[in-house]
């Protein structure tokens, strides 16, 4: 058991990239990553990593086999490491008390219990997963209730990387946050974790706090980001009624340095595995602490997101003469954002399901997410086709719906696409990524999001 041996339990979207970065930047540490999912571990050890993330292959290749090791040997890892990061999933609970809002902490607790069972020395245990504020307290109790006389120090070191830019975010983070108990032991442990990050992050970017502030900061950072998106999406609805242009409004608002320009892009709604789950968790916590007004305030961010997804489908139906039944609709993009194959909570899931309920035929193309799209829609009734290229998806379609902001969507030959579509040809740009004027001049009826439409139809809609 050694302080220079780091174990990470959970080799997912967070555990894999963060530990690969630590290993790459800290050659004098040995980093072990373990998971119960053997298929995932095999993929981490292969040439085809289990997640698509620009630049990640190089980081993994640099360290794998040198000081970075992926395996399913959880027990062996616990015995060897002095520092254990826990990066297991913390989904929304779908049963019992708090179902639909509270975080399901069963994976976390099981991990804590196996750490206690297999440890032979004192350890620092770090919350890398996103957890409700005060989870460290429960963890401290579970871990230190051991009868072996061992001491476990619980720290919080939440992760702020975004998918698609994980490598960049890890290499050059806005900040690294580490929360520790204010006790002597807590502060000693804190120094050891700071020392790891100091290998490549300047000290002024490493923010240290008490453990509760750190836990809560992670939840509310996601809530604040999502709140900006819901705010701007709510305004996109108003723009469509008034011929204002949400892109112009966002840009002009964002020039105010107090507001800032980031996270003001209107779209079909935010997706991803965390925003909704973390806000619902925040709502649950506020209810738990008897702060109903605060709970209702944050809950509205999620309601607005659902409204935006529904509004987009409503618009498609309305503009296509109030029916999409039997009409082929090409879905461009299924991932929840560009540069990832991740489809968790992607707006495309809900939009596809609602279109299928309306008896549309959908043809999905995504550069990286087809495999996950199939999993998301498995068991869903309706006419779904998965296509290898955008031209195939759009062939014979009445409409194209752009649901992800992939850059490659801008590069297609839209004249060719238009010529092979049914007429009138509709294009609903749910991410405002395409050149709308050009598409209109080709002949498309273009419906951007939160901007004046460019339609050849005088349909009075
Ligand atoms: P994930 O589902 O991709 O990975 C979690 C992994 O933990 C899975 O591979 C699972 O098999 C493994 N696991 C579960 N129980 C285990 C156990 N008992 N022993 C060993 N392995 C176990 O999840 P993720 O996206 O990496 O998220 C992990 C945490 O990080 C969550 O709390 C999430 O909120 C947070 N987070 C995620 C992101 C992101 O971009 N995805 C960013 C910041 C924070
Ligand atoms: C988000 C946060 O940005 C990370 O800091 C955080 O670590 C992570 O959640 C997490 O805890 O899981 P991520 O979900 O990977 O990262 O991606 P984002 O770039 O935040 O995008 C989330 C969603 O919001 C996407 O669907 C994206 O298309 C949408 N979005 C983003 C907008 O609609 N408009 C914007 O202006 C920005």
Q: What is the pLDDT of residues 398-453, one digit of tens each?
A: 999 999 999 999 999 999 999 999 999 999 999 999 999 999 999 999 999 999 99
Cβ distance 69 to 31 under 8 Å? yes
**pLDDT of amino acid 460:** 54
Distances (CA, A) of 423 to 57, 154, 397, 420, 440: 44, 62, 9, 9, 13
Average of per-residue pLDDT across 372-392 = 97
Q: Phi-psi bin for 273: left (phi > 0), alpha (psi -120 to 50), beta?
A: alpha
- Residue 459 banded pLDDT, cuts 50, 70, 90: low
- Residue 349 banded pLDDT, cuts 50, 70, 90: very high
Number of domains in the chain: 3
Tell which one of 35, 41, 128, 341 to mutate to probe ligand 1, the residue whose CB is within 8 A of the most ligand atoms.
35
Residues 284 and 369 in one domain: no
The reply to whether 212 falls in a domain is: no
Report the Cα 330 to chain-centroid distance in Å: 24
Residues 105 and 145 in one domain: yes
Cβ distance 340 to 52 under 8 Å? yes
d(CA 276, CA 294): 16
**pLDDT of amino acid 3:** 84
pLDDT at 181 exceeding the cut of 70: yes
Tell which one of 11, 89, 132, 219 to mutate to probe ligand 1, the residue whose CB is within 8 A of the most ligand atoms.
89
CA dihedral 335, 338, 339, 341 (to 10 degrees): 0
Pairing of β 383-386 and β 426-429: unpaired
- Report whether residue 345 contacts ligand 1, using a CB cutoff of 6 Å: no
Residue 124 is part of which domain span? 2-201
Residues 59 and 134 in one domain: yes
pLDDT at 2 exceeding the cut of 80: no
- Residue 30 banded pLDDT, cuts 50, 70, 90: very high
Q: What is the pLDDT of residues 215-242, one digit of tens each?
A: 999 999 999 999 999 999 999 999 999 9
State percent of the chain over pLDDT 70: 99
The reply to whether 461 falls in a domain is: no
CATH number at residue 257: 3.40.50.720
Q: What is the pLDDT of residues 132-161, one digit of tens each?
A: 999 999 999 999 999 999 999 999 999 999
Residues 165 and 284 in one domain: no
Count other C-beta atoms under 10 Å from residue 256's C-beta. Answer: 9
- Report whether residue 173 contacts ligand 1, using a CB cutoff of 6 Å: no
More confident residue, 2 or 342: 342
Query: Which stretch of DSSP H or E encloses residue 332?
Result: strand 328-332
The reply to whether 115 falls in a domain is: yes
**Ligand 1 midpoint to CA 91 (Å):** 9
**Ligand 2 midpoint to CA 342 (Å):** 12
What does pTM read for this prediction?
0.96
Structure tokens at 77: 């890892």
- Which ligand is closest to the CA of 236, given by its number? 2
399-436 as b/e: b if 16+ CB within 10 A:
bbbbbbbbeebeebebeebbeebeebbbbbbbbbbbeb
The reply to whether 417 falls in a domain is: yes
DSSP-assigned letters across all residues of 67-90: TEEEES-HHHHHHHEEEEEE----
d(CA 20, CA 16): 6
What is the chain's mean pLDDT, rounded?
A: 97
The reply to whether 337 falls in a domain is: yes
- Residue 461 banded pLDDT, cuts 50, 70, 90: low
């Amino acid at each position: 058991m050694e302080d220079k041996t780091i174990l990470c339990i959970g080799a997912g979207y967070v555990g894999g990239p963060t530990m690969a970065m630590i290993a790459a930047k800290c050659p004098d540490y040995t980093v072990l990553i373990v998971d119960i999912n053997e298929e995932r571990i095999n993929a981490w050890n292969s040439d085809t990593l289990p997640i698509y993330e620009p630049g990640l292959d190089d980081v993994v290749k640099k360290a794998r086999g040198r000081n970075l090791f992926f395996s399913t040997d959880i027990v062996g890892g616990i015995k060897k490491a002095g520092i254990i990061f826990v990066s297991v999933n913390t989904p929304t609970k779908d049963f019992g008390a708090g179902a639909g809002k509270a975080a399901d902490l069963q994976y976390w607790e099981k991990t804590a219990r196996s750490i206690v069972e297999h440890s032979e020395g004192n350890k620092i245990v770090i919350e890398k997963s996103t957890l409700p504020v005060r989870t460290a307290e429960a963890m401290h109790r579970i871990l230190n209730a051991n009868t072996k006389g061992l001491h476990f120090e619980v720290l919080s070191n939440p992760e702020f990387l975004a998918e698609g830019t994980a490598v960049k975010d890890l290499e050059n983070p806005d900040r690294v946050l580490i929360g520790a108990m204010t006790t002597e032991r807590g502060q000693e442990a804190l120094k050891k974790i700071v020392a790891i990050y100091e290998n490549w992050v300047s000290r002024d970017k490493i923010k240290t706090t008490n453990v509760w502030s750190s836990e809560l900061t992670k939840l509310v950072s996601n809530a604040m980001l999502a709140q900006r998106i819901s705010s701007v999406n709510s305004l996109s609805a108003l723009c469509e009624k008034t011929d204002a242009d949400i892109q112009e409004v966002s840009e002009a608002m964002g020039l105010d340095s107090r507001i800032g320009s980031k996270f003001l892009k209107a779209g079909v709604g935010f997706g991803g595995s965390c925003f909704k789950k973390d806000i619902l968790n925040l709502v649950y916590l506020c209810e738990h602490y008897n702060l109903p007004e605060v709970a209702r305030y944050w809950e509205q961010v999620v309601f607005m997101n659902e409204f935006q997804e529904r509004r987009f489908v409503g618009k498609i139906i309305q503009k296509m003469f109030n029916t999409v039944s039997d009409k082929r609709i090409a879905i461009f993009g299924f991932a929840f954002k560009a540069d990832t194959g991740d489809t968790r909570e992607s707006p495309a899931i809900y939009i596809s399901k609602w279109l299928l309920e309306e008896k549309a035929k959908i043809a999905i193309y995504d550069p990286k997410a087809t495999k996950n799209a199939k999993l998301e829609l498995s068991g869903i009734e309706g006419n779904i086709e998965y296509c290898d290229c955008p031209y195939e998806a759009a062939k014979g379609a009445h409409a194209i719906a752009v649901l992800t902001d992939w850059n490659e969507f801008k590069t297609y030959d839209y004249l060719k696409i238009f010529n092979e579509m049914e007429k009138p040809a509709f294009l609903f740009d749910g991410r405002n990524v395409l050149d709308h004027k050009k598409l209109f001049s080709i002949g498309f009826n273009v419906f951007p999001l939160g901007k004046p439409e460019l339609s050849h139809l005088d349909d009075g809609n």
